[in-house]
């Protein structure tokens, strides 16, 4: 059944596919995830076009604009209106955004990570994330494993289509506070960020639980949320771990089948 989860259209659709199994071929009706290009326009200035799953789009707009420093904070956003026909999010904000697109996607520069001398290249908006993430409560290893199972249980669109990434915001005691899905992991995290901004949720003692790889981009998104722990059933990349080590984020990967790997800052893991 097609599920409408946003004014921009359905999150899934159904179509005939030829399924081949054990030398048998049959036509079946399968469910497929949908995607759309959403153009974000702030104060009549086109900022970016995001290819996204059409769900929780207001969360996505808030999270993206604040994470990329197009606006200084959620309080600067006065209104968000969606044009379904042209697939545009029109945002009115108390912010000057004339050069935001050029600043975000054209101008890059070299900086050292937290002053420790390792040169890396980032977008300008990433620099704000390169500050220490301090504090954060400990999480039991068993709780971390259980959180991946809870994320899977709440990943309805993935179970039906296999076509999205899921990210959960969770407490270290094992409570899943929110789940967002998208074809892009970075979009899913921006949706969570937007949810936290709109609901004024403090994130200093929370964690991100992901279904996919922890890349440097995902690590930076988590840093912008101020999350001290990132947990995934999949693998991290080397740059993500280098950033996590310097910034102070605990990265847990390959959390499945009763085991997990703690790559950085293991002091937040209780055995």
Decide which of 40 and 103 is more confident: 40
Set 32, 114, 235, 269: catalytic member = 114
Which domains are assigned to the chain?
A: 139-270 (3.40.140.10)
pLDDT at 12: 76
What confidence category does residue 29 fall into, taking pLDDT thresholds of 50, 70 and 90? confident
Decide which of 217 and 12 is more confident: 217
Contacts of 179 (CB under 8 A, 6+ apart): 151, 154, 155, 166, 167, 168, 169
pLDDT in tens, 77-108: 999 999 988 899 999 999 887 666 555 554 44
The pTM of this model reads 0.83
Using an 8 Å Cβ cutoff, are 97 and 78 in contact?
Answer: no
pLDDT at 231: 96
Tokens of 157: 């669109």
pLDDT in tens, 200-255: 999 999 999 998 889 998 999 899 889 999 999 999 999 999 999 989 999 999 99
Residue 113 a catalytic site member: no
pLDDT at 4: 37
pLDDT at 135: 80
Query: CB 133: neighbour CB atoms within 10 A?
Result: 21
């Amino acid at each position: 059944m097609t599920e409408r989860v946003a004014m921009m259209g359905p999150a899934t659709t159904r179509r005939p596919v030829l399924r081949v199994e054990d030398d048998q071929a049959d036509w079946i009706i399968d469910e497929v995830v949908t995607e759309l290009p959403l153009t974000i326009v702030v104060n009549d200035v086109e900022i970016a076009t995001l290819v996204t799953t059409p769900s929780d789009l207001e969360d996505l707009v808030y999270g993206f604009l604040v994470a990329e420093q197009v606006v200084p904070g959620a309080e600067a956003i006065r209104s968000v209106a969606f044009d379904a026909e042209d697939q545009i999010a029109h945002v009115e904000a108390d912010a000057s955004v004339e050069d935001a697109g050029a600043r975000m996607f054209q101008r890059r520069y070299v900086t050292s990570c937290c002053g420790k001398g390792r040169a890396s290249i980032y977008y300008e908006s990433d620099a704000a994330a390169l500050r220490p993430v301090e504090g954060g409560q400990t999480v039991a290893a068993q709780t971390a494993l259980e959180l991946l199972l809870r994320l899977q249980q709440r990943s309805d669109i993935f179970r039906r289509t296999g076509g999205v990434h899921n990210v959960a915001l969770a407490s270290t005691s094992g409570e899943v506070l929110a789940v967002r899905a998208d074809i892009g992991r970075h979009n899913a995290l921006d949706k969570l960020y937007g949810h936290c901004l709109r609901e004024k949720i403090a994130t200093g003692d929370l964690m991100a639980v992901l279904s996919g790889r922890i890349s440097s981009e995902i690590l930076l998104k988590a840093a912008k949320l101020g999350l001290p722990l990132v947990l995934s059933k999949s693998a991290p990349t080397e740059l993500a771990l280098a950033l996590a080590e310097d910034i102070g984020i605990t990265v847990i990967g390959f959390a499945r089948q009763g085991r997990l790997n703690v790559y950085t800052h293991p002091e937040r893991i209780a055995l």
